[in-house]
């Protein structure tokens, strides 16, 4: 004998599938003509419904001063705090005793985009960027050196502000 | 003789091309309609509105790696796609798709082969398709493929009976199995969809099952069988199953249009029904036939993206416990009605005859749907717990 299955007694309207089927067909037919939600990506990068968040943490950007030099003073806080250990910093010093980075490289493949480097930077020099299009032909191109970091033009992340958690 | 040969070859080439192009376009249309139903846009990148997508897909299929499972039965594995592909294309041969075309040498009937056994040929050839599917499942030496193949054979055999029974009603009324005669009858006395409403319903359901489309696509149920019988197939061999599926859909749609919706008959006018044939008539009727077929193709796609899949026991219960008895009872009732109208009242098939049958059908359909709508099939096939009914 087949295994007994408890079958609930339900009113006809709940067990009717002829009506349910027709209802479903009507629903899908209505959806044929409803506005579509697709964002046609390379042409459209934001729509009314969606823009990238200003808190987005993407590949880095180093800000520069008026002379075009990087704002970095090679204090060493960012490689110190970096949980992924992706920042390589070799400090140098000029004749006036100003510290500057001799080598400043970020391996974007190691980076976990936590944004700590931006948070910790006393000079507001290194930032994570609002940027997500990063294709390259080789892996080494993902190690960004200082020159490349300074040359980035995308907007920088506002990060999350604990005093304004909802970004208002 | 030469005229017959030349015209036949021309028709074969035209119909073959038309089927393959339609199949290619249907794959695109299916994806786009599916997307629209899901509030997306679907593939619209290759060519205007994605029109070249099928070409891109075809090219991809040709260039992909052909895989051959080590333990597969090589000969059958290679043969199976062809066995399912060929009957899918063959069935279209007997379907008339337009009014005859007058030429300088005589009228060309717009059907590849106007076989006297028309409909029987379709039943015969379309049942061959199951061999391709079953052999594909068996020769792959893969449990999922085998299960898919088994399901396909069981399902197609079960529903073929109901399908055959429902068409007996058509043949009963038409008194002929030649499809061009069936169309001529409908032109004279109204479409069979009215006078044979229930037969159309049974045929529609069985046709969905025969073509392995949702809600009857158990042979390739992704959730349980990966891809069913074509799990092990890749590249062009997979494409051939794919083309076969859509070609079967196309044939079934064309068949529904022919058997129940007057074939190439233009509704509400008798201008197109008889000679003298002109080119305009051929084109107009051809277009009407295409529209009717396209409507059924749309129905296929629409249903696919609406309904969930049946459980296997539900599928069998529907086929054997509902559709088959229904078709038999219906056939009896209809045969009695036709006998009464023809022999006792002496009517010939015409509008009055059609409307009388429509009345009968409407009553029967009302009863059927009232009965079906009480939770049959979907909940009924498992044994209920003790003490419950």
pLDDT score recorded for residue A7: 67
CA atoms within a 13 Å half-sphere pointing along the CA-CB vector of B295? 12
Query: How many Cβ atoms from other residues are within 10 Å of residue B193's Cβ?
Result: 21
Tokens representing A46?
Answer: 């934001």
- Tokens 């794919």 correspond to B242
User: Across the strands, what pairs with B387?
Assistant: none
Residue of A nearest to B300 (CA): A25
Q: Is A13 on the interface with B (CB under 8 A)?
A: no
Instruction: Determine, for residues A29 and B375 on separate chains, whether the beta-carbon distance falls below 8 Å.
Output: no
Nearest CA-CA distance, residue B6 and chain A, Å: 45
Residue-by-residue DSSP string for A44-97: -S--SS----TT--EEEEE-B-TTS-B------HHHHH-TT--EEEEEEE-TT-
Residue-by-residue DSSP string for B187-247: HHH--HHHHTHHHHHHHHHHHHHHTT-TTS-GGG-HHHHTTGGGTT--HHHHHHHHHHHHH
Per-residue pLDDT of B269-283, as tens digits, reads: 777 777 777 888 888
Instruction: Determine, for residues B41 and A40 on separate chains, whether the beta-carbon distance falls below 8 Å.
Output: yes
pLDDT tens across the length of chain B (389 residues): 788 888 888 888 988 898 889 998 999 999 999 999 998 888 888 888 888 888 898 899 889 888 888 888 888 888 888 888 888 888 888 888 887 777 777 777 788 887 888 788 888 888 888 888 888 888 888 888 888 888 888 888 888 888 888 888 888 888 778 888 888 888 877 788 878 888 888 899 888 888 888 788 877 777 777 777 888 888 888 888 888 889 889 988 988 888 888 888 888 777 777 777 788 888 888 888 899 999 999 999 999 888 888 878 778 888 888 888 888 998 888 888 888 887 777 777 777 777 878 888 888 888 888 877 776 555 544 444 444 44
Q: Is A27 on the interface with B (CB under 8 A)?
A: yes
Per-residue pLDDT of B13-50, as tens digits, reads: 988 898 889 998 999 999 999 999 998 888 888 888 88
Closest CA to A127 of A110, A150, A99, A145: A150
Instruction: Determine, for residues A25 and B302 on separate chains, whether the beta-carbon distance falls below 8 Å.
Output: yes
Which residues of chain A are within 8 Å of residue B377 when distances are taken between CB atoms?
17
Nearest CA-CA distance, residue B214 and chain A, Å: 13
Residue of B nearest to A7 (CA): B384
Q: Is B40 on the interface with A (CB under 8 A)?
A: yes
**DSSP H or E segment with residue A148:** helix A146-151
Tokens representing B329?
Answer: 């009872």
Nearest by CB to B37, from A10, A18, A32: name it.
Answer: A32
Global pTM value: 0.81
Q: Where are the domains of chain B?
A: 60-337
CB B246 within 8 A of CB B301: no
Residues within 8 A of A (CB atoms), B 99-138 only? none
Three-class SS state of B380: coil
Say whether pLDDT at A116 is over 50: yes
Assembly ipTM: 0.75
Nearest CA-CA distance, residue A108 and chain B, Å: 31
Residue-by-residue DSSP string for B65-97: PPP--TTS-HHHHHHHHHHHHHHHHHGGGG---
Nearest by CB to B307, from A24, A35, A36: name it.
Answer: A24
């Amino acid at each position: 004998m087949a295994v007994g299955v408890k079958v609930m007694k339900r009113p006809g309207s709940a067990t009717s599938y002829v009506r349910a089927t027709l209802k479903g067909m009507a629903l899908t037919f209505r959806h044929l003509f409803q506005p579509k939600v697709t964002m046609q990506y390379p042409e459209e990068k934001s729509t009314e419904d969606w823009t990238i968040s200003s808190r987005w943490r993407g590949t880095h950007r180093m800000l520069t001063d008026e002379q075009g030099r990087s704002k970095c003073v090679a204090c060493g806080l960012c490689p110190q705090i970096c949980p992924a250990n992706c920042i390589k910093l070799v400090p140098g010093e000029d004749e006036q005793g100003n510290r500057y980075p001799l080598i400043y490289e970020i391996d974007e493949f190691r980076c976990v985009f936590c944004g700590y480097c931006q948070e910790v930077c006393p000079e507001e020099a290194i930032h994570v960027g609002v940027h997500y299009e990063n294709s390259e032909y080789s892996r080494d191109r993902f190690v960004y050196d200082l020159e490349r970091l300074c040359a980035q033009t995308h907007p920088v992340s506002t990060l999350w502000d604990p005093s304004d958690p909802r970004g208002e | 003789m030469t005229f017959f040969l030349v015209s036949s070859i021309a028709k074969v080439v035209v119909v073959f091309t038309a089927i393959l192009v339609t199949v290619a376009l249907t794959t695109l249309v299916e994806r786009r309609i599916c997307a629209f139903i899901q509030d997306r846009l679907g593939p619209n990148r290759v060519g205007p509105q994605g029109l070249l997508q099928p070409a891109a897909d075809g090219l991809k299929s040709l260039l992909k790696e052909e895989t051959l499972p080590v333990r597969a039965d090589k000969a059958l594995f290679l043969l199976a796609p062809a066995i399912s592909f060929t009957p899918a294309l063959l069935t279209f041969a007997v379907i008339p798709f337009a009014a005859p075309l007058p030429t300088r040498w005589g009228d060309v009937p717009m059907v590849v082969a106007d076989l006297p056994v028309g409909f029987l040929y379709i039943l015969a050839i379309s049942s061959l398709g199951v061999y391709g599917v079953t052999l594909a499942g068996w020769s792959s030496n893969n449990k999922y493929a085998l299960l898919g193949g088994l399901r396909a054979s069981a399902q197609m055999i079960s529903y073929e009976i109901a399908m055959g029974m429902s068409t007996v009603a058509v043949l009963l009324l038409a008194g002929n199995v030649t499809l061009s005669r069936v169309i001529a009858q409908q032109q004279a006395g109204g479409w069979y969809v009215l006078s044979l409403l229930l037969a159309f319903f049974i045929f529609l359901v069985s046709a969905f099952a025969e073509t392995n489309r949702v809600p009857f696509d158990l042979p390739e149920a992704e959730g349980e069988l990966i891809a069913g019988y074509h799990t092990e197939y890749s590249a062009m061999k997979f494409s051939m199953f794919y083309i076969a599926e859509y070609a079967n859909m196309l044939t079934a749609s064309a068949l529904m249009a022919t058997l129940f919706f007057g074939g190439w008959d233009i509704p509400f006018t008798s201008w197109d029904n008889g000679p003298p044939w002109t080119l305009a008539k051929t084109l107009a009727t051809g277009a009407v036939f295409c529209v009717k077929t396209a409507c059924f193709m749309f129905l296929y796609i629409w249903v696919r993206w609406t309904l969930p899949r049946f459980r296997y026991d539900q599928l069998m219960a529907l086929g054997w416990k509902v559709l088959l008895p229904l078709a038999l009872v219906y056939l009896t009732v209809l045969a009695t009605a036709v006998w009464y109208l023809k022999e006792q009242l002496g009517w010939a098939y015409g509008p009055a005859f059609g409307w009388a049958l429509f009345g009968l059908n409407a009553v029967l359909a009302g009863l059927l749907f009232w009965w079906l709508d009480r939770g049959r099939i979907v909940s009924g096939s498992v044994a209920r717990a003790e003490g419950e009914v």
